[in-house]
Structure formats: structure tokens, C-alpha cells
Chains A and B, each alone.
Chain A
Amino acid sequence: MNDQIKTDPSKAAERMRAGSMILPLAPWLIAAVVLALLPQVFTNNSALTIMNQMSITIVFALAYNMLLGQGGMLSFGHAVYAGVGGFACMHIMNMSDFFASIPLVILPIFGGLFGMGLAMIVGSFSTRSAGTVFAMISLGVGELIAACSVIIVAFFGGEEGISGDRTYAQPFFGVEFLQQEEVYYLTAAWVLISAALMYLWSRTPVGRMANAVRDNPERAEFLGYSSRWVRYYSFVASGFFAGVAGGLFAINYEILTEENLNTASSGVILLVTFLGGVGFFFGPIIGAVAFTLLQTVLSLSTELWAFYAGALFVATVMFFPGGLAGLIMMHVPAFKLRKASGLILPYLKTLLPGAIGLFGLAALVEMTFHFRHAPPGDEEMTIFWTTFDSHSLMPWVIAVAITLIGLGIAKATAPSLRDAWNEANTAGGAS
């Protein structure tokens, strides 16, 4: 876990962190420049697809964190707001006359309005309380709407879903959005706008009170604010931006199905947000970037990627409830004391063997899976660019040895890492 911070600090993280210390505008300008330059670095279509997916997830995760991180409301059914926004956009795409009269770039606004409309209805009874009751209502309403998708065929299109064609919109300064790159810039612009608006929201009176209600709803009531209405406003705003994410999804994939609404999608966005860290505004951004990369890499190389994602999620909740953002921010005091460099070597000593040990463990998991589920006769498998026979003893011995040695060294060096950590976070002293 720690390893990822050191070796894979996403750009988003860097720019947001810098922002909290230097100029308020700087991170946004840097973000804009980075977003503008990315397609020059990664030019092929699959990279563009991944970056678009990342962008959509960023908007959705930030919207989700308006609830979870800033408002303290845990939703198990937030995909429906994005989904309904997306479906609404698909229907607009299919209203040929109307669609031909609006530029594609404003389509996500409609998604947002529909997501917001649904949130206004559901929020009217679900935001009465936070906590468990809210979570259960969100789950029930989510399931209800997902189940409706096969019943109300006119809106949700049944099993096939609804598809359309984004290029029928009014050209926007001559751009018809036939190219993936054009769609990328549209999405990137929306990410920037949405993120900025959500950030500003958190600085408004109602945004500040969302935090207050999260921490102590009763006290907030005695300051003149109804906690219920504060939650309601957060919920509705979150529904709007979720709907925007749904609209972006519609533009990118030109099809929406039941999958965009179901509990699995809602679970993924919870996972993304929590992995990134709910305590800081930029957390979900890191989460979305890291998760999308992880998903892309892992799902290409193993069938078991959902298993690893689940394990990572549970480990995050148990050991790093602050998520990646929390891990990054943990290092701020050391940086301020100018002692962070003293951590590099201890980190390498512990985390490198630890990572190798985990890879060994993953190899064992893969081998077990292959051993149990591969069709009879197919005894060869390939992991980590090595091909071998999963039914012979030697690979097992090697994998077990790597796992034990790796994790063993990590465990042995952990105390010295702890000492180094304490030293790096103590002011003064002999360094």
C-alpha cells in the first residue's frame, strides 16, 4: 500500500497537494495544462478510452464523496443517479430534432438535471437521517430503480438498454465528435468544470455546514441549521454531478444498460472513493485514477481481478481508513520538518520485499485457481512472464519460498521503519 504512494504518485495528487500550500489557482491551472497535454503523450485510441473512463469516474467519485466524505452519508445505490442522468441523455440523443439543435457539449447538463430531479424526489424522504437508515434506503431505492429497468422498457430499454449516436448533435464550432480525441477534450473540460464547481461548493455556507452536520448534527441544529435540509442540499447537488457523470458516460459509450444502475456499479464507486480517501477533496480523484489503472492492468492479466480488488478494499477499510489521500497527507508533517528523505531507504527496505512477497502470494492464488479450475489436460500456465506446469511441485516450492522470504523480510524490517517514521515526524533532534 505504502509502496504505491512512493512509486505511483498520480499527477492529480501532486497538483492538489501543492494547491493546499501554494496558490489557490495553481493546481487548477496545472490540471488544465496536464489534461490538455495528455493526448499528445498517449496518442493511441485505447489510452484515450482509458483516460475518458478515468475522467467519468473522477466526476462520479467526487459527486459520491460530496455525500460520503463531506456529508457523512453512505449510499449503496448512487449509481442510479448517474444512470438515470445517462439514460435521459440517451433519450435526448434520440430526439433527433431537439438534439440537432443543441451542441453536444451541453448534453451533460441535461444528465445533471435529471439526476438532480431524481435526487430531489428520493432525498425528500431519505435524508431525514444519516447513518444506517440512510444507507438502507439508498440500497432499497437503488435496487428498486435497477429492477424497474427491465419493467419500464420505454425509458430503460429493457435488457438491451438504450443506444444512440452522439454525432447527430449540432456541430460545435465545426466539431462533430467523430474522433475519440474530440470526445476526450469534451470530457476533460467537463471534469475540470465539475471538479472546480464541487470544490467551490465545499467552500460555500451549505458546504461548510455539511461537514458540521456530518460531525455533530445535534450541535448544528442549535446553530440554526436543520440537519435534514443541509443533508438534502448535499444530496441534490451530488445527484446533479452524478447525473453529469452519467451524461459523459452516454456521450462516450453511446449506450446505457441496466448495468449502469445496479448495485454492483454503486459498489464500485464506493470502492473507488474509499480507496482514494474520503477525508480530502482530492481523494476521489486519486482513487479514480488508481482504480481505473488497476482495473485495466489487472483485468487484462488475470480472471481474478475482482477478487484482488475486493481484498484490497477490505484491507483499506481495516488498515488505512484514510485511503490513498490519507496516506499521502500523513507525510506532510515529515515534509514540513524536511525529514521526509530519511524515510526513503527504510521504505525501500520494508516495502520492496513486502511487495515481492505479495506477488508471491498472488502467484500462489493464481496457481491454486488454475489447479482447480483449468480444463483437464491444460496444465500449463503463465504468470509473471513465466510459463510452467501448475501440476508439478517445483513452481509451488518457488512461489511459497518467495512469499515467505518476501513477507519475512518485510516483517523483520518493519520495526526499523517505525523508528524512522517516528524520527521523521519529531521536530528537532539529531538528524
Chain B
Amino acid sequence: MDLILVNLIDGLVTGLLLFMLSAGLTLIFSMMGVLNFAHASFYMLGAYFAYSISLALGFWVGLLVAPLIVGLAGAGVERYGLRRVHQYGHVPELIFTFGLALLIEELVQFVWGKNQMPYNVPEILNFTAFAISGNSIPAYKIFMIFISVGIFIGLLYVLTKTRVGMIIQAALSYPRTVEALGHNVPLIFMGVFGVGTALAGVAGVIAGPVLGTFPGMAFVLGSIVFVTIVIGGLGSLWGALVASLLIGWITTFAKSYNIEMENVLNAIGISTPENLSDSVFRDFWSLTSPQIADILPYILMVLILIFRPAGLFGKRSS
């Protein structure tokens, strides 16, 4: 029971982190129809910028400034890159963001090198918040939960209560009408792209110290984020939230409970073949849940796509 609680907290941290990325990605996708392949690269930039800033000015300045720089960089990419490619169609847009992801990874290696950066949890948060029957929960995890929840409340407020939020919501569904009403839709696009990437930047700043700040961090998390929004249903914010938490919990639980395929199969009535070590399926029989924890999201995605192609909360099928 206690372990379940610990896992629930851990899964929540992962899930909220995923949602911080998938929320921005979903906003950008539903507004512009572009799946920003480089989204996780902005997350990585957030971590690296925050690290460099924290060296000179400390963690907290990094937390404030790095997302701003990332957001500006994102807006610049939209203005000078994506808007240009837009005229060629959706597939070139996707290819462009894919190329951008490659380029940013190389750029990061160029500036910071290939090694992991010693970007650490700030001293003030480096203690145990509380312990659940011997499992200590670091204060930084609680801090991450608060930051992400705080940001979502802020985002929700902006989207539902402010004028800008109304325009954005309208532009999500009827971009042409909004443009006809005299709003500067390209500017809104640029802004949304900037805010979306800044969110990814925040995620990078707070995840960098725990998940590691290294050139591969974008790719490690990036593909999971895409899987998340496919599972949730492209373009659905609620879907992104549910799928993020789902994936956060599934992977955490799969890692912490060592369930073996052999036991599962025996439990459902399939007996272990006698000469298992010669069998072609020996690897299948000896699978354990921690082993496949990282690919569970992909398996889940394939299953969802087969049985519910639009995703959990998806409206449109294409």
C-alpha cells in the first residue's frame, strides 16, 4: 500500500512533466496543424540554458529566464522558419521540424559538448520532504509537482478567462473567421508557438537536474511525448492530460513491480514449455515488466491506433 503511494507520486511527477510538453505541443498542433517534431529540443534547450545561467546567477534566475529565452527562440523559429516552409504544405513542415530537431541536438553538442552537464537540484530543495515507510520523497519532486500544477492553473486561467485566451480558443477552431474579424492570426500563431516552446523550456529547467542534462535528452523524452498526444488524440488538451498521467503511472508501476511474463502466462493458463531454453520464444517468456517499461507507451499507442484510431479523446480521424 505504501509502495503504491510512492509510485503514485513518482508517476504523477513523470506524468505532469510529460503534460507540460504535450500541452504546448497540442496547443501548437491544434492551432497550426503542425506537429512540432523539435518540441522536445526546446525542452532540452531549456535545461541547457538554465544550467548555464545557474552557473552565474543561480537556479532561480535560470528558472525565470531560461524559458523566456526558449520562448523567444521558438517564436523566431516560427517567424523565420516555419512560416516560410508553410507554403510548401504539411509534410515539408514536419520534415522541417524534424531537421530542426537534428540541428538543435548538434548545436547543443557544439556549444556544450557531448557529456552530461553537472546541473543539480538547488541546495535549498535538496532534502527529504517526507518518508513513506522508509521510501523518502525528495522535496524537489514536490516542488516539480507544484510548479507544473501552478503553470496549468495559470494556463487554464489565461485560456478561459482572458481576452487573449478567448481569441486563441476561437482561432483553434475557426482560424479564418478569427482572421476575418481583424485579428492578426500570424501574430497569434507566433505567440502560441513561443508560449508552447516556453512551456517545454520550463519542463526542461525543472527536469534537467533529475533526468540529466545531456544531448540525447530531447530524443529520449521526445518520442514519448509524440506517443502521448497520439494516445490522447491529436489536438485534445484533455486527452494529452489523461494520456500523460496514464503513461507516467504505467511506466512507473511497471518499473517498480517486477512482474514476469512467465507468471502472467501461467496465471492465464498457458504452461511453460518444457525446453524453454531452445524455444524461439525464450526471450518472450523471460520478459519482465521493468524490461519493457520504456516500450509500454509504444505498445499502448499501437493498441489504441488499432482499436480507437482517433485516440482516447480525439475528435477528428485524420
| Residues of A that sit less than 8 Å from B by CB | 68, 72, 74, 76, 125-126, 128-129, 131-133, 135-137, 139-141, 143-144, 147-148, 151-155, 263, 267, 270-271, 274, 304, 306-307, 309-311, 313-314, 317-318, 321, 365, 369, 372-373
Contact = CB atoms under 8 A, between A and B. Distances in A.
B299 A151 contact: no
A271 B95 CA distance: 9
B186 interface: no
B226 interface: yes
B285 to A, nearest CB: 11
A76 B105 CA distance: 17
B179 interface: no
B230 A137 contact: yes
Contact of B292 (A74, A151, A155, A365): A151
Contact of A143 (B33, B95, B100, B223): B223
B294 interface: yes
- Most chain B beta carbons < 10 A, residue from A76, A140, A304, A307: A140
B113 interface: yes
Interface string B160-204: 000000000000000000000000000000000000000000000
A270 B99 CA distance: 10
Interface string B280-294: 101110010001101
Contacts of A274: 95
A267 B100 CA distance: 12
Nearest to B91: A74
Contact of B98 (A125, A148, A267, A311): A267
A74 B96 CA distance: 12
B102 A310 contact: yes
B318 A129 contact: yes
A141 B103 contact: no
A128 B309 contact: yes
B92 interface: yes
B317 A263 contact: no
A317 B283 contact: no
A interface: dominant SS: helix
Given A74-B94, A129-B309, A318-B84, 15 more contacts: A76-B98, A125-B309, A128-B309, A136-B35, A137-B301, A140-B298, A143-B223, A151-B287, A274-B95, A304-B110, A306-B106, A310-B105, A314-B96, A321-B88, A373-B113
Nearest to A217: B318
A139 B230 CA distance: 11
B295 A307 contact: no
B95 A270 contact: yes
B85 A318 contact: yes
A90 to B, nearest CB: 15
B306 A125 contact: yes
A143 B222 CA distance: 11
B107 interface: yes
A271 B106 CA distance: 15
B110 A147 contact: no
Given A317-B85, A318-B81, A147 B298 contact: yes
B283 A153 contact: yes
Contact of A137 (B96, B109, B305): B305
A372 B96 CA distance: 29
Interface string B1-40: 0000000000000000000000000000100010100000
Interface in B220-240: 223, 226-227, 230, 234
17 contacts: A72-B91, A125-B305, A131-B90, A131-B318, A132-B33, A132-B90, A135-B94, A137-B302, A141-B302, A144-B299, A147-B295, A152-B284, A154-B283, A263-B223, A270-B95, A307-B109, A314-B103
Contacts of A155: 283
Given A147-B298, A151-B291, A310-B103, A317 B95 contact: yes
Contact of B103 (A137, A151, A311): A311
Contacts of B301: 137, 140
A155 B88 CA distance: 41
Given A267-B102, A318-B84, A133 B107 contact: no
B219 interface: yes
Of all A-B residue pairs in the complex, the 9 with the closest CB atoms, nearest first, are: A144-B298, A310-B103, A307-B106, A314-B99, A147-B295, A310-B102, A313-B99, A317-B96, A140-B301
B91 A131 contact: yes
Given A131-B90, A147-B294, A321-B88, A140 B227 contact: yes
B269 to A, nearest CB: 24
B85 A310 contact: no
B99 A125 contact: no
B223 A140 contact: yes
Contacts of A148: 295
Contacts of A313: 99, 102-103
Contacts of A126: 305
A359 to B, nearest CB: 18
Contact of B295 (A131, A144, A270): A144
Nearest to B235: A132
Nearest to A72: B91
Contacts of B90: 131-132
Contacts of A365: 110
B82 to A, nearest CB: 10
B226 to A, nearest CB: 6
A147 B302 CA distance: 14
Contacts of A270: 95, 98
B259 to A, nearest CB: 15
Contacts of B280: 154
